[in-house]
Amino acid sequence: MDDSSSQKVKKVLAPMVRVGTLPMRLLALEYGADLVYSEEIIDRNFLDCYIHNNEKYSIKEWISNKTQLCFFSTCNQERDHLIVQLGTSNGNCAWKAAEKIIPFCRGIDVNMGCPLLYSTKGGMGSALLKTPEIASDIIKTLRRNLPNEYSVTAKIRLFPVLQDTIDFVHMLANSGVDAVAIHARQVHERAKDKANWSQLAQIASHVVNVPLLGNGDIFSLQDMQRMKDQTGISQWMIARMAQWNVSVFQGTLDCINNVILRYAKLAEETNTYYGLAKYCIQQMIKYQKWTRTEFASKVSISK
């Protein structure tokens, strides 16, 4: 991704397990997202699969040789906006996996922030924050082998010590990364913990040689502007709010009923597994219940 194209990217759908599948990505694009990330896919899945051209749904499906189940799908509509996120701990495996997907996407992202055991136990996700030499080799290997028109990016979390985060981002930049998304929380922190935008601001002031994307506690266009004002970062990655109501990308929230109906239609049109579609719709419904409860409590207090 060259500098000119990266600066055009503003609003990005974050990688989310069980959420960032094809129908959600397409819906995010309909509502104004500039880029959409897939959920994290472990590199070895791409190493033992075949691609099925599903003409009935006009999609391509990556089918596991072992289980004969589809673990990833895409279509032409998202080709120029799709970033596939890999879970990997080895440069060569990452590159071999990228070979299977790169003709159908815009770039490859390396997950260096996931704190969950299924990722870290294999040296992936946030475990890479502790092994900078491996993280560097993964980025170098991908950048060396991928054509320049495809981006190589990484998503990380904050270190306990600010300077360590700055040093890690500089290392990624020197390894050839095209952009770094920073989740403004440490590995042990969860969504209930406030995102540390002040550290984002300090990182942005020290890192000028690679584009940064800010992630954490962005729930509206107003939050995006606030992050820009407070940190200087003008590229934003949205997770939870997009999961709850993906119309956040257009600025004004659409009626959740409309969002759910459109999502269900896209899920049907893209041969999405029922369980995944059900999960996503449940998250939207849960959020609607939360906002109603919150509203009711405010009305009660005002009385």
227 annotated to a ligand binding site: no
Q: How far apart are CA 116 and CA 104, in angstroms?
A: 28
Tokens of 165: 């985060």
Separate counts of helices (H) and strands (E) for the chain: 12, 12
183 annotated to a ligand binding site: yes
Cα angle 267, 51, 89 (rounded to 5 degrees) comes to: 95
240 annotated to a ligand binding site: yes
- Find where tokens 């509502």 sit: 31
Q: How far apart are CA 111 and CA 88, in angstroms?
A: 7
Of 146, 10, 27, residue with least CA distance to 75 = 27
Known catalytic residue: 93?
no
Task: Tell how strand 11-13 and strand 236-238 pair up.
Answer: parallel
241 annotated to a ligand binding site: no
Q: Are 281 and 257 in contact (CB under 8 A)?
A: no
In a 13 Å sphere around the CA of 221, the CA atoms on its Cβ side amount to 10
191 annotated to a ligand binding site: no
- Find where tokens 């959420």 sit: 19
Q: Are 88 and 138 in contact (CB under 8 A)?
A: yes
Strand partners, 213: 181
Question: Edge to edge, what strands does the sheet with 59-64 contain?
Answer: 49-54, 59-64, 70-74
Select which of 75, 105, 114, 280 is catalytic.
Answer: 114
Reduce the DSSP state of residue 109 to 3 states and report it: strand
Q: Which residues are annotated as a binding site?
A: 15-17, 85, 155, 183, 239-240
Catalytic residues: 114
Q: Which residues are annotated as a binding site for FMN?
A: 15-17, 85, 155, 183, 239-240
